[in-house]
């Protein structure tokens, strides 16, 4: 089926081009504008097969522009289901480790969240108040965070807000419209990457929704794709955007399209890590605490 960006997706494209032009005038990293294809690359029709599609190889060198978009469209077509896709829930479960810039320090968090669609659920969380290491969290930072104690809070309906209204769209243009209510298109492509990570923090994404995320990313101006590993040495496909003085990366399992990490690094001002999110476990659960 042909995928072409609608007005919501085009707003992200237009804004990203403007940001890259501003970046070039300010002397920070930028890339030249390249045209967005009016349709996704053509694919051949094959007879149905009971065998799973082969896992796409991760690119050894960075893909840009048309090559990056072609790769993401193909990846979206081939990702496989995972057992949680068929689980009835009703709770979305995320176990995450996060490091985020708080003024001049990195704060660490480990969070386990069970959230029902009505906003009820449970959160257990532990924190590390701050680290002076802005390059990446050190082994000592991680050890101190691991030694911290979890605190538990149970939430009534409505107290764990959604990032986007459920059900989450399985069409990339509709997904762009949903995310635009959370991250305005004029915020630019890096913020869209953050919005996708925000969505993964709270919602479970099924196979069709994961495919929609990949197709939406394929529409972003200046997108890049490369094989890379996250802070826990988990290898996958990194989708990257550099704009307005920072580089944002979303890391995906090439077999399933599951998002397993996000990071953003600043290249101007006080350089270093701004945000790292590591998705340690993503699942559906029958109950809070299960």
pLDDT score recorded for residue 114:
98
33-90: pLDDT as tens digits: 232 333 354 433 333 344 566 788 999 899 999 999 999 999 999 999 999 999 999 9
Domain containing residue 178: 7-37+62-285
Assigned domain for 20 exists: yes
Percent share of the chain, pLDDT over 90 = 72
Assigned domain for 196 exists: yes
Q: Per mean pLDDT, which range of 15-24, 103-112, 149-158 is the poorest?
A: 15-24
Structure token pair of residue 276: 């790292």
Assigned domain for 47 exists: no
Q: Per mean pLDDT, which range of 39-48, 93-102, 107-116, 193-202 is the poorest?
A: 39-48
Q: Using CA atoms, how far apart are residues 83 and 202, in angstroms rounded to an integer?
A: 19
Q: What is the largest CA-CA distance in the chain?
A: 57
Q: Which of 166, 15, 2 has the alpha carbon at shortest distance from 91?
A: 166
pLDDT score recorded for residue 150:
97
Total-model pTM: 0.82
Give me the DSSP letters along 37-89: PSSPPP-------SSPPPPPPPPSS-EEHHHHHHHHHHHHHHPPP-GGGG---
Beta bridge partners of 283: 93
Assigned domain for 110 exists: yes
Number of Cβ atoms within 10 Å of the Cβ of 272: 15
Number of Cβ atoms within 10 Å of the Cβ of 181: 11
Assigned domain for 99 exists: yes
Assigned domain for 49 exists: no
Q: Using CA atoms, how far apart are residues 168 and 266, in angstroms rounded to an integer?
A: 30
Q: What is the mean pLDDT of residues 172-177?
A: 97
pLDDT score recorded for residue 53:
63
Q: Using CA atoms, how far apart are residues 239 and 91, in angstroms rounded to an integer?
A: 28
Instruction: Name the domain count of the chain.
Output: 1
Contact residues for 216 (Cβ-Cβ < 8 A; gap 6+): 9, 172, 175, 176, 179, 196
3-12: pLDDT as tens digits: 444 444 444 4
* Cβ proximity of 156 and 172 under 8 Å: no
């Amino acid at each position: 089926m042909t995928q072409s960006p609608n007005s919501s997706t085009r707003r992200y494209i237009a804004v990203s081009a403007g940001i890259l032009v501003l970046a070039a005038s300010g002397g920070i990293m930028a890339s030249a504008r390249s045209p967005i294809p009016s349709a996704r690359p053509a694919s051949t029709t094959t007879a149905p097969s009971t065998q799973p599609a082969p896992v796409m190889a991760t690119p050894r060198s960075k893909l840009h522009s048309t090559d990056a978009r072609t790769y993401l469209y193909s990846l979206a077509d081939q990702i496989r289901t995972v057992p949680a896709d068929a689980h009835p829930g009703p709770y979305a479960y995320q176990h995450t480790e996060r490091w985020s810039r708080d003024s001049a320090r990195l704060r660490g968090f480990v969070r386990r969240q069970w959230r029902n669609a009505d906003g009820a659920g449970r959160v257990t969380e532990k924190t590390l108040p701050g680290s002076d290491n802005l390059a990446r969290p050190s082994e000592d930072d991680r050890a101190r965070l691991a030694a911290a104690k979890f605190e538990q809070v149970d939430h009534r309906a409505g107290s764990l807000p959604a990032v986007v209204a459920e059900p989450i769209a399985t069409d990339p243009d509709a997904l762009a419209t949903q995310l635009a209510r959370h991250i305005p298109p004029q915020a630019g492509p890096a913020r869209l990457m953050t919005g996708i990570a925000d969505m993964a923090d709270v919602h479970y994404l099924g196979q069709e929704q994961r495919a929609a995320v990949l197709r939406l990313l394929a529409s972003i101006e200046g997108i890049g794709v490369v094989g890379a590993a996250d802070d826990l040495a988990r290898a996958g496909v990194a989708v990257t955007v550099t704009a307005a003085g920072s580089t944002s990366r979303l890391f995906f399992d090439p077999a399933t399209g599951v998002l397993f990490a996000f990071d953003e690094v600043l290249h101007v001002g006080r350089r270093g890590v701004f945000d790292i999110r590591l998705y340690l476990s993503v699942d559906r659960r029958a109950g809070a605490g299960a």
